[in-house]
Amino acid sequence: MKEAECLSLSLQGERVSHWPVLGTRVWIPDCLEVWKSAELTRGYEEGDSFLHLRLEDGSESTFPLNPQCPQLPFLRNPDYLSGENDLVALSYLHEPAVLHTLRARFLETNTIYTYCGIILLAINPYKQLPIYEEPVIYAYSGQNMGDMDPHIFAVAEDAYKQMSRNNKNQSLIISGESGAGKTASAKYAMRYFALVGGSLGDSSMEEKVLASSPIMEAFGNAKTTRNDNSSRFGKYVEICFSHEYHIVGAAMKTYLLEKSRLTFQAKAERNYHIFYQLCASATLPEFQGLGLGGAESFHYTNQGHCTHLEATDDAADLESTRNAFSLLGVPESSQLELFSLLASILHLGNVRLRAKDRHGESCFAEPGDEALGLFCTLLGVEQSQVSRWLCYRKLVTATETYVKPMSRQQALNSRDALAKHIYGLLFKWIVSRINKALRASCRQQASIGILDIYGFETFTVNSFEQFCINYANEKLQQHFNLHVFKLEQEEYMKEEIPWTFIDFYDNQPCIDLIEARLGILDLLNEECKMPKGSDASWAQKLYDKHLHHSPHFQKPKMSTEAFIVHHFAGKVEYQCSGFLEKNQDTVHAELIGLLRASKVSPRPCRQGRCLAADCKEEGGRQVSPETGLFLSTQDRLAERTPASPCQLLVDTAHLFPVHLPFSCSPVQLDELRIPDSINLTFLTRV
């Protein structure tokens, strides 16, 4: 190794042109503050084993070096660049410089936005700031990006300007870790487009577009340990404009609703907001027949022991949700039917199932169970049939049909699967009604898309949902790296522009671990097909196949039913328990038949069909125990876009080239993730 190459700045890969001298300011790692600023008290000489430093508090310290190949610390930028509003203007662009700049802007000037070239970084202040009112929107309207302070409105204005000037579709991508403020940023961008793209008159299309937000938040958002209003689904909203560039309509597409939250919440977490809104409004006259009570009285809403939020008025939020439904043309009668179905889900969760014997091989539902009676009344199904098929299932062979009793745990799983199935259909129906109300009234000329997806997640207990989200983020990060680094650098080389190649992390081995043949997903789907497949058996197959064979796979020391994946953003330990059940997402055909036989009329309908009647069509995937969630998701995407790589979240058949990626993340630049098959050839190095 050459000496000049050896003396490179750690993590940067940039060669130093001279030895650090007395007074040079650097950044050194710190276990508490992550990075600390220090100043050299003695110049570096070749062969030194230590750098002698003085910290900002005046204390002396040393920084160890390997004399054979010393990794010098990061250099600090001059003071006049402190608080710079665009990171690419820094003399040295590396992790400590980025964190220091964001910290200085946030703490010293109360500024949450910072540019990084065409990317906008945002820090969530966790409080309301007076920077989103209409006068601020008008101040940014018509301005060029860079003429004013960094702001989400500046990004939105540039997208709107590019669309109107060049008649080209635009997209904003909002990404970041859980709690970074992605949902709020998407709402601010939609509000900007609504104001500059037309008047906000009563019942206008612009107001309808904004009205979709409280509905989707009520049915798709929930409190987590990191965020009181966390989106538990991904969405892509396409806002359509006329030839005069006024809003004429919109369309929404959703991805990967976290249905497991419906039946289980970890400590200090909540179910979806709509259930607490209903319980808080239980005394309303129109809700008297629903059998509602406090959220603490329902199994599906009390598991997290967090039924009330100090800063949230659930009753007032329900009123906002109902007003939004009315604005979108959903009649009061349909709303009440919808709330009735939601109440039936709550009662289903309270149905008690008891084991018949100490072996627990069979169970029964008590005939006088009040919750069971309310569930059957609200859905209009026979209580005797529900009691039977919650505890039994049919096994059909080539010649005979058997009725097999289920254990209490199997019956509870079946009950929860039915609840998740009903809620999944309700969610799809709501999205379809919103799209119907937002359908373009005339021919659209162009559009601006807003992609709001969940970022990388890691919690104390990580399961199937976190695995899905993190797998998707691996795919998105890969394509971001491909377009931003590899393709751009190839373009520079092609044009013979002097350029030092940037060595970037390639996460293809991690993706192969997940999706390649005999990878994690392949083994999971195979295990789901086994008659006696189990989470423990699947975990053992993972160990046999990947332990000591893949550097991205690891087995926890103290567990035999968990595994660790080394993702691009860090290591995550996943608990295998529940993976098979969630991947199968099985609802027994007998329960589906009961829903189809429901006597409640009218019922919320989707495209002219009753909700319960859609169960067989929409639930075909669930009825079949041989079909896994990932397999069916990939198959559907492959059918629509056979030339594109399969991915989990984004259906690329209708996405447009991205204009301005917007990354909403507190501190991490690498949180920006771009969907598969989006054209990023416009990206250039500033």
| Annotated binding-site positions for ATP | 176-183
Three-state secondary-structure class, residue 510: helix
> Has 183 been annotated as catalytic?
yes
**Are 591 and 389 contacting, i.e. CB atoms less than 8 angstroms apart?**
yes
Residue 22 tokens, joined? 């007395």
Binding residue positions: 176-183
Beta bridge partners of 571: 566
Active-site pick, 111, 114, 171, 183: 183
d(CA 567, CA 507): 8
Active-site pick, 457, 488, 515, 527: 457
Write the single-letter amino acid at 235: K
Active-site pick, 14, 39, 117, 179: 179
Active-site pick, 455, 519, 619, 628: 455
**Are 510 and 520 contacting, i.e. CB atoms less than 8 angstroms apart?**
no
Active-site pick, 111, 169, 185, 231: 231
> Has 227 been annotated as catalytic?
yes
> Has 231 been annotated as catalytic?
yes
d(CA 493, CA 501): 9
Active-site pick, 24, 124, 227, 321: 227
Q: Pick the closest to residue 484 from 653, 645, 651, 658 (CA basis).
A: 658
Residue 129 tokens, joined? 């700031």
**Are 601 and 337 contacting, i.e. CB atoms less than 8 angstroms apart?**
no
d(CA 207, CA 198): 10
Q: Pick the closest to residue 272 from 219, 224, 308 (CA basis).
A: 219
**Are 577 and 535 contacting, i.e. CB atoms less than 8 angstroms apart?**
yes
Q: What angle do CA 318, 323, 327 make, to 5 degrees?
A: 150
d(CA 98, CA 429): 44
Active-site pick, 101, 171, 175, 178: 178
**Are 301 and 202 contacting, i.e. CB atoms less than 8 angstroms apart?**
no
> Has 457 been annotated as catalytic?
yes
Burial of 652 (0-12, 13-18, 19+ CB in 10 A): middle
Active-site pick, 230, 307, 586, 663: 230
d(CA 580, CA 489): 43
Q: Within 10 A of 410 (CB to CB), how many other CB atoms are there?
A: 18
> Has 455 been annotated as catalytic?
yes
DSSP line for 341-387: HHHHHHHHHT--EEESSTT-S-EEE-TT-HHHHHHHHHHT--HHHHH
Give per-residue burial for 71-99: e unless 16+ CB within 10 Å, then b.
ebbbbbbeeebbbbbebeebebbbbbbbb
Q: What angle do CA 40, 46, 48 make, to 5 degrees?
A: 60
Burial of 407 (0-12, 13-18, 19+ CB in 10 A): middle
d(CA 389, CA 381): 12
Beta bridge partners of 119: 116
Catalytic residue positions?
A: 178-179, 183, 227, 230-231, 455, 457
